[in-house]
Structure 1
């Protein structure tokens, strides 16, 4: 990729991915504009009691629910060079995180470069430039601007993924996706089915179990959870089919159900990308990407936040530093052939294990290797290894008890070491 002098960068979205990108581009002295379809910063971290569409007819992208507390501890939720308040607890309510994001915008004076209420309609590649069509969602006026780089920062927590289960159309109860879950009191004394055991599925199951008559949890997770759930909780396998009043499961058992909450994840969704962008997005993946970020066919387009199973704030900050360094010409990408070769190796490894292509976006136990590779290629500061240790400690306490894992406090000793203690007693893990 040839270095671009005085590049102009378009950032799509003013969530954490877009805001961290804006901060580092600003530090590099690079011209940029953030296009944000709403009137707010913070993306999914802003709670909105509404579902469906907003006042301008656009889909509500936030997936926040009223009583959410982070499932990652404080050190992993801190953006580089901008400490969280000392008084903030180890596991914070969404309000604390959202206020922190707002303070981040003010501290780095980012709002001046954000065009609020501008929805991106189309991105295309013409004559070595990116053309971005966007619309003022209030006036309807359309604009087209030219850029040298595109940073797609819309994340992947806004387009719900619904399963396709036989008989669903016959069911007379309510069905929602966790994207539209707001608070548990709606389900008081109801028979509720939760589908899925990812972070949202587990969190919502515990929340709803406190008020529901029965909590039926359908999932096939093999995670070694030891949590003792309340008497109204019942674990079930995958769903075979619906009928008018309930669900038949794969083991042949049946449960009467009033309400269903699908906690079945999200789709990658970039309807504004033209074919000239030369990137393929499906509901389960985006490809081909170098470092799960750089569009290999058009490497001046980067996707930030298209990763899963990671310390997401830490990962977004690292990706934003990498992306800004690339736009500034501080390093050179490998050749297209080399990037494709590496990407094809990843695909073959996944297929050899008969795993879905969604695994292309998973960091998981390779998270530390990922940060090391970003540093090795770009020269950005290395994410400290204690972040990975925190993540491993967290998983251990989470598997032990979903009700108490947020009672632990994580203290960073140095770049390599962390202590994990209960708030009521000192226990080194």
Structure 2
């Protein structure tokens, strides 16, 4: 067994908790920093929203949570579990939900932390403000408590698990600077009531845009979804009198009108940006070794999305949760160059560098092989690919459609 190390884990969400458990099981001394007053990361619901609804003002009071009140998982329960820890949390009515709500997911994470004895290692209300390497074998972590007390502590390794759903990424729409309506990013969406009787344009084509549109449509005068995807079907949704799908926005006018590539022209009250998030690591000081390309939303260089070759293994992002032997710095850098080259050859934009949608199970099976675990369960793969098959044709009712086509999902914990 390798010599135990003193390791800092930044964040007590899903990534931080699983990383802490594996480090603890290998005998390492672990300290987990969490700036919130409870564990759970993105699964902690906070009804409060930021003072800047777009989340662009650097002086705003930052709210970490991006959860909306009604959120249920888009993945069924078997895909929300850990490989060795089943999801058995029931809702407040005692029902084991196929698509759990955020309250059940948070309870699942709390149970996980309790069952594996992680709570004692977690420092709540403690924000990391600086992580910097002092020499080859030591990093310093500077943190600030809720009371403003600054402290420094040395570590032999650091694992960054701070998530990336807090710093909004806003669509750059032609003419938006002259448009007089209200804008909000979905990071600050909680409930549909503020959209009552409004004409709303929702920018985006992923989970948040679709979920929120189906909630807002119940109270809004009109809801117009806009996506830049070339595969989108421009249409009026049959099940609703006030929901339309459009192509991308081509212009925003001072009189409140918004033009779409499909020729539609809508006078809107609100633009809701469901356009994702930027990676944000303001505390990490590496003298340029790790960079974030804001335009392309790429963090790098990271071997297998985890290890910076020049600083591995003492700095990692999430981290492979078992003991592994890493290639040399040169081999990791060569692997990265090949990865970037393949992305370019396939025409995949840089901002999709860290998206695993196209090769998720190949990547997960590779990680499992490195640590001596079996590949992803065949049933879990079947669920994932069935979801990918259903979603492009209909977001409305996709959960019910999935359970109808794969009824055995409900029997898996």
TM-score (norm 1): 0.85
Q: Give SS of 2:392's match.
A: helix
Q: Give SS of 2:407's match.
A: strand
Task: Give the whole-Å Cα distance in 1 for the aligned partners of 2:367 and 2:350.
Answer: 22
Aligned to 1:239: 249
Q: Structure 1: which 5+ runs fail to align?
A: 305-318, 412-418, 425-429
Q: 1:166 to 1:400 in 2, by over 3 A?
A: closer
Aligned to 1:303: 317
4+ runs deviating over 3 angstroms: 222-229, 250-253, 408-411
Task: Give the whole-Å Cα distance in 2 for the aligned partners of 1:155 and 1:222.
Answer: 30
Q: Give SS of 1:91's match.
A: coil
Q: Tell whether the 8 Å contact from 1:294 to 1:301 is kept in structure 2 after alignment.
A: yes
Aligned to 2:306: 293
Q: Which residue of 269, 282, 306 maps to 1:258?
A: 269
Q: Which residue of 56, 75, 83 maps to 1:72?
A: 75
Tell me if 1:62 matches 2:65.
Answer: yes
Tell me if 1:215 matches 2:223.
Answer: yes
Task: Give the whole-Å Cα distance in 2 for the aligned partners of 1:192 and 1:269.
Answer: 29
Aligned to 1:310: none
Alpha-carbon displacement from aligned partner over 1:157-215 (angstroms, at most 9, x marks no partner):
11110122233233332211011111112212210000010111111112112221111
Q: Tell whether the 8 Å contact from 1:367 to 1:388 is kept in structure 2 after alignment.
A: no
Task: Give the whole-Å Cα distance in 2 for the aligned partners of 1:359 and 1:235.
Answer: 24
State the shift of 1:381 in Å.
Answer: 4.3
Tell me if 1:159 matches 2:167.
Answer: yes
Task: Give the whole-Å Cα distance in 1 for the aligned partners of 2:311 and 2:367.
Answer: 19
Q: Which residue of 133, 144, 158 maps to 1:135?
A: 144
Tell me if 1:405 matches 2:398.
Answer: yes
Aligned to 2:56: none
Alpha-carbon displacement from aligned partner over 1:57-96 (angstroms, at most 9, x marks no partner):
8511111001111110110001233222274211111111
State the shift of 1:252 in Å.
Answer: 4.9
Q: 1:398 to 1:421 in 2, by over 3 A?
A: farther
Task: Give the whole-Å Cα distance in 1 for the aligned partners of 2:244 and 2:396.
Answer: 16
Aligned to 1:420: 406
Q: Structure 2: which 5+ runs fail to align?
A: 52-59
State the shift of 1:102 in Å.
Answer: 1.7
State the shift of 1:383 in Å.
Answer: 2.8
Aligned to 2:57: none
Structure of higher RCO (CA pairs closer than 8 Å, 6+ residues apart)? 1
Kindly report which structure 2 residues correspond to 1:172-191, keeping only aligned pairs within 5 A, or say none: 172-191=180-199
State the shift of 1:408 in Å.
Answer: 5.1
Task: Give the whole-Å Cα distance in 1 for the aligned partners of 2:361 and 2:408.
Answer: 26
Alpha-carbon displacement from aligned partner over 1:337-381 (angstroms, at most 9, x marks no partner):
111111111111122233321222121131111022113333344
Task: Give the whole-Å Cα distance in 2 for the aligned partners of 1:269 and 1:39.
Answer: 21
Q: Which residue of 321, 324, 328 maps to 1:335?
A: 328
Alpha-carbon displacement from aligned partner over 1:240-270 (angstroms, at most 9, x marks no partner):
2222323123355421001111011111111
Kindly report which structure 2 residues correspond to 1:115-130, keeping only aligned pairs within 5 A, or say none: 115-128=123-136, 129-130=138-139
Q: 1:371 to 1:410 in 2, by over 3 A?
A: farther
Q: Which residue of 49, 70, 75 maps to 2:47?
A: 49
Q: Give SS of 1:295's match.
A: coil
Task: Give the whole-Å Cα distance in 2 for the aligned partners of 1:265 and 1:154.
Answer: 16
Task: Give the whole-Å Cα distance in 1 for the aligned partners of 2:348 and 2:334.
Answer: 20
State the shift of 1:22 in Å.
Answer: 1.2
Q: 1:224 to 1:390 in 2, by over 3 A?
A: farther
Q: Which residue of 5, 8, 13 maps to 2:6?
A: 8
Q: How many residues align?
A: 392
Kindly report which structure 2 residues correspond to 1:335-374, keeping only aligned pairs within 5 A, or say none: 335-374=328-367
Q: Give SS of 2:208's match.
A: helix
Aligned to 2:31: 33
Alpha-carbon displacement from aligned partner over 1:404-427 (angstroms, at most 9, x marks no partner):
22125669xxxxxxx712999xxx
Task: Give the whole-Å Cα distance in 2 for the aligned partners of 1:91 and 1:248.
Answer: 37
Task: Give the whole-Å Cα distance in 2 for the aligned partners of 1:145 and 1:191.
Answer: 52
Q: Tell whether the 8 Å contact from 1:368 to 1:385 is kept in structure 2 after alignment.
A: no
Tell me if 1:169 matches 2:180.
Answer: no
